[in-house]
Amino acid sequence: MTNVRSPVAGLRNVSREDMLVHGHGACPGCGYAATARNIAKILGPETVVYVPASCLTVFSATYPTSAWKIPFLYTAFENTGAVITGLKAAYRRRGIDANVVGMAGDGGSFDIGLQALSGAAERNEDVIYVCLDNEAYMNTGIQRSSATPFGAWTTTTPAGLEIQGNRRFKKDLAAIVAQHDVPYVATLSVAHFTDFVKKVEKAKSMSGFRFLHCLTPCVPGWRIEPAHGVSIDRLAVETGMWTLYEVEHGVPRVTYRPRKMLPVTEYLGLQGRFKHISEEDVRTLQSWLCGKWKVHYDEEVEGPPCIIVRKDEGMGHDGDPLHGL
């Protein structure tokens, strides 16, 4: 293998050659497949990919078939950070400079894999860690994770008389990883493709631990139309449910700023997982988002949709300037 740390090439120079090819078994409209395919394409043939138990293993590499044109490894659920550390060491020992990338789900990153992720980040291992965040444990039947947003239905946070969907707010994993003082952390969305390409290329051009956090719509888990994934990802950014930013050598930078905040109902309305949501829960979520917006964009939204939120509801973002950037 040759030197894999190519300079940032830009959108026009993205290769046409896919590393994750057709014939895999993802649901039509799967955000995971689009994200993994594009990241692998940008990283190119000098790449080795590790995937723990997740939808990506199930649909792309169930023995004896594989949709990967690059070396692919799979072991257990909780150890992405540890396995990519070992892979990189093995390649280094053989004198090979490969892009070693781990692609893990939110369950495998936010929850069970957090310890291995934190260890690899703290050691500043020379690897790229991609979190494919579909906001629940999807391949095992849509169970809640700590990435699941407030109010969302999952099979372990049902909408009934006792509770109406998930009662907790989404954990801010990118901020946690950034606190490890790693060279590069970025949030990505398939709806902002130029931004997406620039961030993957930047990660590719750097050394040390690089973390890419991608919001990936899931058709059965979010109860959405297959054709709506990209629109929903775009609405996530416009409503403040997702913020596009990067932290390069400790310096945070917002990479896309919506002109004005859209009400969260625009995002919720396209997804069956929020069908049951009460007006009170919408207000609670909106209040949290208005606080988060202020932290990320350093701007208070004075009018709608924040005006409808009572300031004393007490469920806002915690105001910690490190929370989210």
Number of residues that bind ligand SF4 (CB under 6 A): 13
Q: Which of 19, 138, 224, 282 binds ligand SF4 (CB under 6 A)?
A: 138
CB of 294 to ligand TPP, least distance (A): 29
Task: Figure out which of the listed residues 38, 47, 60, 134 binds ligand SF4, where binding follows CB under 6 A.
Answer: 134
> What strands, in cross-sheet order, belong to the sheet with 128-133?
72-73, 47-50, 99-105, 128-133, 210-215, 184-189, 245-248, 251-254
Residue 45 interacts with ligand SF4 (CB under 6 A): yes or no: no
Contacts of 154 (CB under 8 A, 6+ apart): 136, 142, 143, 144, 148, 165, 166, 221, 273
Residue in the shown chain whose Cβ atom is closest to Mg ion: 105
Alpha helices in the chain (DSSP H): 31-43, 55-60, 80-93, 106, 114-122, 173-178, 193-205, 219-222, 229-239, 264-268, 279-297
26 binds ligand SF4 (CB under 6 A): yes
Site residues for ligand TPP per CB under 6 A = 53-55, 77-78, 105-108, 134, 137-140, 145
What are the structure tokens assigned to 218, written together? 């899931």
Select 209 or 222, whichever has its Cβ closest to ligand SF4.
222
Q: Which residues bind Mg ion (CB under 5 A)?
A: 105-106, 134, 138
The answer to whether residue 218 forms part of the interface with ligand SF4 (CB under 6 A) is yes
Among Mg ion, ligand SF4, ligand TPP, none, the one that 140 touches (CB under a kind-dependent 5 to 8 A) is ligand TPP
Our finding on whether 40 is near ligand SF4 (CB under 6 A) is no
Contact 82, 108 (CB under 8 A): no
Say if CB 211 and CB 179 are below 8 A apart. no
Query: Residue 314 contacts by C-beta under 8 Å, 6 or more apart in sequence?
Result: none
Q: Which of 35, 42, 43, 59 is the binder for ligand SF4 (CB under 6 A)?
A: 59
- Using CB distances below 5 to 8 A depending on partner kind, what does residue 108 bind out of ligand SF4, ligand TPP, Mg ion, none? ligand TPP
290 makes contact with ligand SF4 (CB under 6 A): no
- Out of Mg ion, ligand SF4, ligand TPP, none, which partner does residue 274 contact, by CB within 5 to 8 A per kind? none
In the numeric block, the tokens 């990209």 are attached to: 230
By beta-carbon proximity to ligand SF4, the closer residue of 180 and 228 is 228
Beta bridge partners of 215: 133, 189
**Least separation, in Å, of the C-beta of 38 and ligand TPP?**
17
Which residues are registered as beta bridge partners of 48? Answer: 100
Pairing of strands 184-189, 210-215: parallel
CB of 38 to Mg ion, least distance (A): 18
The answer to whether residue 72 forms part of the interface with ligand SF4 (CB under 6 A) is: no
Please report, for residues 13, 76, 185, 245, the alpha-carbon distance to residue 10 in angstroms, rounded to integers and kept in the order given. 6, 35, 19, 18
To the nearest whole angstrom, how small is the minimum distance from the Cβ of residue 228 to ligand SF4? Answer: 12
Q: Does 221 bind ligand SF4 (CB under 6 A)?
A: yes
Nearest residue relative to ligand TPP (C-beta): 105
Helix (H, G, I), strand (E, B) or coil at 165: coil
Residue pair 107/84 in contact (Cβ under 8 Å)? The answer is no
Residue 219 touches which member of ligand TPP, ligand SF4, Mg ion, none, C-beta under 5-8 Å by kind: ligand SF4
Longest dimension (CA), the chain: 61
Which residues of the shown chain bind ligand SF4 in the complex (CB under 6 A)? 26-27, 30, 32, 55, 59, 134, 138-139, 218-221
